Amino acid sequence: MLIVTGAGRGIGAAVARRAASEGTPVCVNYLRSRSAAEALVAEIRDKGGDAVAVRGDVSVEEDVRRLFDTAVDRLGPLTALVNNASSTGGLASVMDLTMDQADLAYRTVLRSVLLCTREAARRMAVSRGGVGGRIVNISSTGARTGGTGEWVHYAALKAAVNTHTWGAARELADEGIRINAVAPGLIDTDLHRDNGVPQRPDLLRPTVPLGRIGTPDEVAEAVWFLLSDASSYVTGSVLEVGGGR
């Protein structure tokens, strides 16, 4: 069973669909996008898959425990996790950043990864009776480019996600747990609209060497590779899906 955080739309929804197409039961976590999450679950079930939508704020410890307990109760043992939930906190220059923006980004980008990875590892670890598992963190190419002029705070937190991926992968390898990250670049999602710049992809398109904007499905393919046995010798890696940008 796979838990995907923030799976009501965008990359998270694409990952849920891709996993379900391979016969994996999927827990679709959401916070505000209830109708989208429930529609996704209905879509998966209509195609013969197994899925459930569970609301929960993955930056809140109690919600995370309830999310995992509910998912296991409804869908069976946990074998995979995709830490996808995220928010930039909003566009802000370094000088204009508010701590409310920074705190929102921290909670959704990094705190959620710390909490959910800990909960998953406790259930997957062979030393605690688990059978191992796979975790994929959704990072960003901004962790490398810096998010200059837009969201340096967000990029810095995504860089921390990468560091956590590398360190946790080494620590938990003996527990049968593989941990990797996928770092999307310019992808056609609601992120741009949510930040008040729906035209951002078109403005930045010329900076992409492949000459186009990526899709959530393309990111989902990379995530599925890291979740599948095809990547059985891969852990502690950050795979960029950014068209060369």
Mean pLDDT of the chain: 95
Measured distance CA(12)–CA(6) in Å, rounded: 6
Residue 195 has pLDDT above 70, yes or no: no
Q: What is the DSSP string of 145-211?
A: H--TTTBHHHHHHHHHHHHHHHHHHHHHGGGTEEEEEEEE-SB-STHHHHTT-TTHHHHHGGG-TTS
d(C-alpha 7, C-alpha 58), whole Å: 12
What pLDDT does residue 200 have?
80
Q: What is the pLDDT of residue 204?
A: 81
- What single-letter amino acid sits at 232? S
Q: Does residue 194 have a pLDDT over 90?
A: no
Rounded mean pLDDT, 52-74 = 98
Query: Rounded to whole angstroms, how far apart are CA atoms 16 and 108?
Result: 19
Q: 43, exposed or middle or buried, with CB in 10 Å at 0-12, 13-18, 19+?
A: middle
Task: State mean pLDDT over 95-112.
Answer: 97
User: What is the predicted pLDDT for the residue at 191?
Assistant: 72
- Taking CA atoms, 145 is separated from 95, 127, 151, 153, in Å, by 19, 39, 11, 12
Which pLDDT belongs to residue 192?
66
Clarify whether 30 is annotated catalytic.
no
The mean per-residue pLDDT over the stretch 152-163 comes to: 98
Per-residue model confidence (pLDDT) at position 174: 98
Question: Which is catalytic among the residues 30, 106, 154, 233?
Answer: 154
Residue 196 pLDDT > 70 = no
Q: What is the CATH number of domain 2-241?
A: 3.40.50.720
Average pLDDT over residues 132-152: 96
* Residue 140 confidence (pLDDT) above 90: yes
Query: Residue range 162-186: average pLDDT?
Result: 98
**Average pLDDT of the segment spanning 214-235:** 98
